[in-house]
Amino acid sequence: MTGDFARTPEPPYWAVIFTSRRTAGEDGYGAMAEEMARLAAEQPGYLGLESARAESGLGITVSYWANESDARAWKQVARHLEAQRFGRVRWYEAYEVRVARVERAYGWTRPAARDAT
C-alpha cells in the first residue's frame, strides 16, 4: 500500500496532509491502516497516497484527490468515520489534518534508478 510515491497528474489537485502521533502498541492499527488505504483507492477522485512514520512515532500520510469535494467525501465514508473514531479511542495521541490545493509540482529521479524501472 504505502512505501512508494503517488503518481499524481499535473496540478491543480488536492492534498490532505494527515500528521499524527501514535499511541504505544499495535492494537489493530496496521490492519486498519491497510484497509483504509485500500478503501481510499476505491473512492471517486482518488489520485494516490504517500505515507511515512518515524521511529519517534510521528507519521505523515498525504492522500491526493482530484478536487476538494472528493477529499471531503472520503472523510465521510462510513467505514472511514468508524476508523476515525477508533483512532481517537486507541491509536492516536494527536493528529492534525490540513487540506491543501496543490498548485505546482516537480520531481527528479536518479538516472540509474530511472533506467532500472
Q: Give the footprint of a copy of itself on this chain (CB under 8 A).
A: 2-6, 8, 11, 15, 17, 19, 21, 23, 50-54, 56, 58-60, 62, 68, 88, 92-110, 113
- Rank residues 42 and 108 by Cβ distance to a copy of itself and give the closer one: 108
Give the nearest distance from C-beta 68 to a copy of itself in angstroms. Answer: 8
Q: How far is the CB of 47 from a copy of itself (least distance, A)?
A: 11
Q: CA separation (Å) from 17 to 50, 74, 88?
A: 10, 13, 17
CB 78 → a copy of itself: shortest distance, Å?
Answer: 20
User: Are 41 and 110 in contact, with CB atoms under 8 Å apart?
Assistant: no
CA-angle at 85, arms to 6 and 27, nearest 5° = 80
Q: In this complex, which beta carbon is closest to a copy of itself, that of residue 8 or of residue 36?
A: 8
Three state DSSP letters for 23-82: CCCCCCHHHHHHHHHHHHHCCCCEEEEEEEECCCCEEEEEEEECCHHHHHHHHCCHHHHH
CB of 82 to a copy of itself, least distance (A): 16
> Nearer Cβ to a copy of itself, position 56 or 78?
56
